[in-house]
Amino acid sequence: MSDGILSKAATMEIPISSNGDTSSLPEDDGLEQDLQQVMVSGPNLNETSIVSGGYGGTAEGIIPTGTIKGPGLHPPPPGPPPGGEEVVRGIAVEKFDIVKKWGINTYKCTKQLLSERFGRGSRTVDLELETQIELLRETKRKYESVLQLARALTAHLYSLVQTQHALGDAFADLSQKSPELQEEFGYNAETQKLLCKNGETLLGAVNFFVSSINTLVNKTMEDTLMTVKQYETARLEYDAYRTDLEELSMGPRDAGAVSRLDAAQSQFQSHKDKYEKLRADVAIKLKFLEENKVGAGTGVWGGLGGHRTGRWQFNIKLKTPGAEKPSWLEEQ
């Protein structure tokens, strides 16, 4: 991570007091969700493949029916090729190691999470970054509300345009069947058609608005928040292995302890690198969102502004040129 980013991120270890004050801590359901997040990613057992159905032949102990001839039996198939047992044993050991590492990591992270929640440990906090993350989450919730309202507006506008179209057709039919009011009904039929045409234009603008907000909320912001989740998991792992290293450092220094300390130092450095990389990734994505907020806002919100697109400006004239008598709509 570059010095510039490190200088901006006020990263520190925040000790959590053990006086029982949990007023600032999330509710129990938040703890349950965090524990589920720790457990959700199980070991990847697809890194190796296990040969099934014996050593390339039929299942062990099963004789193919085609080998039976008359009253006698064909000899059983030959045994596994040389080295076959060693290959399978190696695969099994490798998978066991994967499960073992996952179990140890899950234990350490769960221990660290519980320690943080119950005030017996410390956690690394980047105050500036976490403030920006919380602001993003709050902004996303507000935009989701706007998106819901905009979709409702689209449905209402569509219904309105359909009604205006049907009303225009009804006026047109009445103008043909009522000679004494032909001019009035014809005028109002044209008015409804004009309203319908402008309503369709507005509907198109709102549809574009909904599409833009949906992309912003469910793609751009969601992608950033997915990286945030990875960063938060990496932070928990980093603190778990940091705590483990600190505890080993304070213990006795016999031969076994030195070996364990070296291994813990290596694991800690690996998780530290992962944590700092994801922290930098989150900072970059948040900066990108901030820099593009004005441009995106103009593109998204401008579609409904009217002053730029004129899509809200209908300028409908309810009085036909040269007509002295207003329509009955104007009189109401």
Which pLDDT score, from 0 to 100, does residue 22 have? 40
Which pLDDT score, from 0 to 100, does residue 273 have? 96
Query: Which amino acid, residue 34?
Result: D
* Residue 77 confidence (pLDDT) above 80: no
Tell me the average pLDDT across 6-14. Answer: 49
Q: Are 40 and 78 in contact (CB under 8 A)?
A: no
Around Cβ 171, how many Cβ atoms within 10 Å?
20
Q: Are 237 and 202 in contact (CB under 8 A)?
A: no
Tell me the average pLDDT across 245-261. Answer: 83
DSSP3 helix / strand / coil % (the chain, rounded to 5): 70, 5, 25
Cα–Cα distance measured from residue 288 to residue 29, given in angstroms and rounded to the nearest whole number: 32
Which pLDDT score, from 0 to 100, does residue 90 have? 76
pLDDT level of residue 239 (50, 70, 90 thresholds): very high
> What does the mean pLDDT of the chain come to?
74
* Residue 332 confidence (pLDDT) above 50: no
Around Cβ 105, how many Cβ atoms within 10 Å?
18
Tell me the average pLDDT across 162-186. Answer: 90
Tell me the average pLDDT across 121-128. Answer: 88
Least confident of 17-31, 76-90, 234-248: 17-31
- Helix axis angle for 127-177 and 182-215, nearest 10°, is 160
Which pLDDT score, from 0 to 100, does residue 71 have? 47
Domains of the chain: which residue ranges?
A: 127-304
* Residue 174 confidence (pLDDT) above 60: yes
Which pLDDT score, from 0 to 100, does residue 11 have? 55
Percent of the chain with pLDDT over 70: 62
pLDDT level of residue 81 (50, 70, 90 thresholds): low
Which pLDDT score, from 0 to 100, does residue 257 have? 80
Q: Which CATH number fits domain 127-304: 1.20.1270.60, 1.10.10.10, 1.10.3430.10, 1.20.1200.10?
A: 1.20.1270.60
For 189-229, write each residue's pLDDT tens digit: 999 999 999 999 999 999 999 999 999 999 999 999 999 99
Q: Alpha carbon of 165 to those of 54, 158, 161, 176, 319: distances in Å? A: 72, 11, 6, 17, 20
Cβ neighbourhood burial of 191 (10 Å; 0-12, 13-18, 19+): buried
DSSP letters spanning 15-35:
E---SS--TTSPPHHHHHHHH
Say which residues have a Cβ less than 8 Å from residue 250's Cβ, sequence separation at least 6.
none
pLDDT level of residue 5 (50, 70, 90 thresholds): very low
Tell me the average pLDDT across 234-254. Answer: 88
* Residue 111 confidence (pLDDT) above 50: yes
* Residue 128 confidence (pLDDT) above 70: yes
* Residue 51 confidence (pLDDT) above 50: no
Which pLDDT score, from 0 to 100, does residue 35 have? 62
Which pLDDT score, from 0 to 100, does residue 17 have? 42
Percent of the chain with pLDDT over 90: 38
Length of the chain measured in residues: 332
For 274-322, write each residue's pLDDT tens digit: 999 999 999 999 998 888 765 555 555 555 554 343 433 333 344 444 4
Which pLDDT score, from 0 to 100, does residue 78 have? 60
CA 39 to chain centre: 18
Which pLDDT score, from 0 to 100, does residue 36 have? 65
Specify the residue for token string 């060693």: 86
Tell me the average pLDDT across 31-46. Answer: 60
pLDDT level of residue 37 (50, 70, 90 thresholds): low
* Residue 141 confidence (pLDDT) above 90: yes
Query: Which amino acid, residue 268?
Result: F
